[in-house]
Amino acid sequence: DAVVIPISGGGLTSGVALALRALRPGLVVLAAEPQGAHADGADAAASKQRGSLATDLPRPASICDGLLGRMGDLTWPVVRDCVDEVLPVTEEDVVDAMQLCFERLKIVVEPSAAAPLAAVLSPQFSKHPVYSQLRRVALVVSGGNVDLSALGLWDALRAQVAANAKSRN
């Protein structure tokens, strides 16, 4: 029924969206990007809202560093014509999506790859009159560049091992 793709410069998104439009014209094609610190949201979302490529917006600071590229002149027309909407996601929602991927799906994804899941789990999606009725939603989860030491998991496990060893002695 729908596909959600992470968007940055638009290369991956425009390629996937173009293929989907050719193969399944009625499919809902959405993109997800980190919400910016500016009023328009993020540059792809602002571009879709304006109907023209937004090049005047400051780059937001984001944990989704893989999605901070600017959309280009070549990819914008495809995104404009083939993507139904760009959904900005919050940093908090991205972290929650990463945690869900790790805990429930047993996969480690970088923040940029979690943006599509964050978009689908957002109130913007669940309260939308069309999107909330979609039954099958595919997510493009692209990117696993995570510094596992940053998760703190290994330190917590080592502490548990040490505590277990101490309790046995």
- Domain that includes residue 59, residue range: 2-168
Query: Side chain identity at 92, as an amino acid letter?
Result: E
For the whole model, what pTM was predicted? 0.85
| CATH number for position 161 | 3.40.50.1100
Question: Which helix H or strand E contains 11, and what residues bound it?
Answer: helix 11-23
Number of domains in the chain: 1
Q: Tens of pLDDT along 80-128?
A: 999 999 999 999 999 999 999 999 999 989 999 999 999 999 999 999 9
Query: Side chain identity at 160, as an amino acid letter?
Result: Q
Q: Is the dihedral of CA 40, 16, 22, 30 positive or negative?
A: negative
